[in-house]
Structure 1
Amino acid sequence: MAITLPKDAVSNKFPNLGSVVNAALPYVYVIAGLAMLLMIISGGIGLMTAGGDPAKSKSGYGKISAGIIGFIIIFIAYFVAQLVQVVFGVKFL
């Protein structure tokens, strides 16, 4: 039940939409990991430079929390996709 692409040079390497997603997925994880790292560093710098200001320290904690929660959402989405693939037999990853 995969979407088949028309025959040309690109479709030889990526015959269906699932293969395109599979090829892009490692890059998505790297980008998500770098974004999480930058968010945690930015939040840490915000905490260090807060100087006792509750608003700035709350902003720093918020950045750290947002980075970690976003990263968790990326991985939960991957595992849900795997679950859908097993339960319903839909092959898209």
Structure 2
Amino acid sequence: MKKILLIAIIFLLNTILFSTQNFIQKATAQNAVPTPVPVGCGEIYTDKFTPAGEVVIIHICSCEESSVVDNSRLFETTYCCGWWFSGNCREEEPTGPIYNTPTPPPPTSPESTTIPPVDEDLLNNLNPLKKFSTKADKLSTPGGIITEILNLSFPIAGVILFVMLTMAGFKMLTGATNSQSMEEGKKMISTAVIGFIILFAAYWIAQLLEIIFGINILNN
């Protein structure tokens, strides 16, 4: 009986030991890192991983330079074993003027803005009277202003003379029986006539000044 029990215990221990060894071997095989795959210069390779972060396949680059080409896919990263340039994986570092980063030109100072001098031409261009009025040249000088005033004064004086003579005539007509109204009407007529004569004399004086000094006062 004791022998049977001893044999059973030994068998049970062997079974447990064998199962434990198999479990350890399987776990070791699952967690073992795959052997890196060597990659030559100028080749593109992709390392892959599981969702748990375990390595599925990994590579080792023989070049001193390695660049990431694409890491947009889940659990995969693509590399260039070498120098990645213009969409190509190169086994040697590119040289020459087309591969060198161009040196940016030195900053240039902004061009100086030429400010026009403030002279008569500039002021005339900025003057709205000069740009839109036909009489701006005349009104820009004292002589031109006086000429315009004299040209307007005679028509205005004629209108005033007509109005005063008309008012004086009404006073004399309406005040035929009133000596005071008659006198006021006569004074208005005398004043209007004398004023017009003085203005007319001024006109002829201006004409004489034009002839004597050779200047233009009344003529356009």
TM-score per shorter chain, which class?
0.7 to 0.9
Amino acid corresponding to residue 75 of structure 1 in structure 2? F
Distance in 2, matches of 1:27 and 1:63, equals: 23
Unaligned segments of structure 2, at least 5 residues: 1-119, 131-135
- How many residue pairs align between the two structures? 87
The aligned residue for residue 25 of structure 1 is 150
Q: Which has the larger radius of gyration?
A: 2
Q: In the alignment, does 2:113 pair up with 1:13?
A: no
The aligned residue for residue 86 of structure 1 is 211
Q: Sequence identity of aligned pairs in percent? A: 25
The aligned residue for residue 61 of structure 1 is 186
The more displaced of 31-40 and 78-87 is 78-87
Q: C-alpha displacement at 1:66, in angstroms?
A: 1.0
Distance in 1, matches of 2:176 and 2:146, equals: 45
- 1:50-88 residue CA offsets vs partner (Å, 9 max, x unmatched): 13221210110111111111111111011112223433x
SS of the residue 2:175 aligns to: coil
Q: C-alpha displacement at 1:43, in angstroms?
A: 0.3
| TM-score relative to the length of structure 1 | 0.75
Amino acid corresponding to residue 190 of structure 2 in structure 1? S
Unaligned segments of structure 1, at least 5 residues: 1-5
The aligned residue for residue 36 of structure 1 is 161
Distance in 1, matches of 2:150 and 2:210, equals: 16
- 1:3-26 residue CA offsets vs partner (Å, 9 max, x unmatched): xxx764357522422222222322
With over 3 angstroms needed to count, the CA separation of the structure-2 counterparts of 1:75 and 1:32, relative to structure 1, is same
Amino acid corresponding to residue 64 of structure 1 in structure 2? I
SS of the residue 2:177 aligns to: coil
The aligned residue for residue 30 of structure 2 is none
- 1:27-58 residue CA offsets vs partner (Å, 9 max, x unmatched): 21111111101100010000001132212101
Structure having greater relative contact order (Cα 8 Å, sep ≥ 6): 1
Which runs of at least 4 in structure 1 moved beyond 6 Å after TM superposition? none
**Structure with higher helix content:** 1
Alpha-carbon RMSD? 2.2
**Structure with higher strand content:** 2
| TM-score relative to the length of structure 2 | 0.35
Distance in 1, matches of 2:143 and 2:184, equals: 39
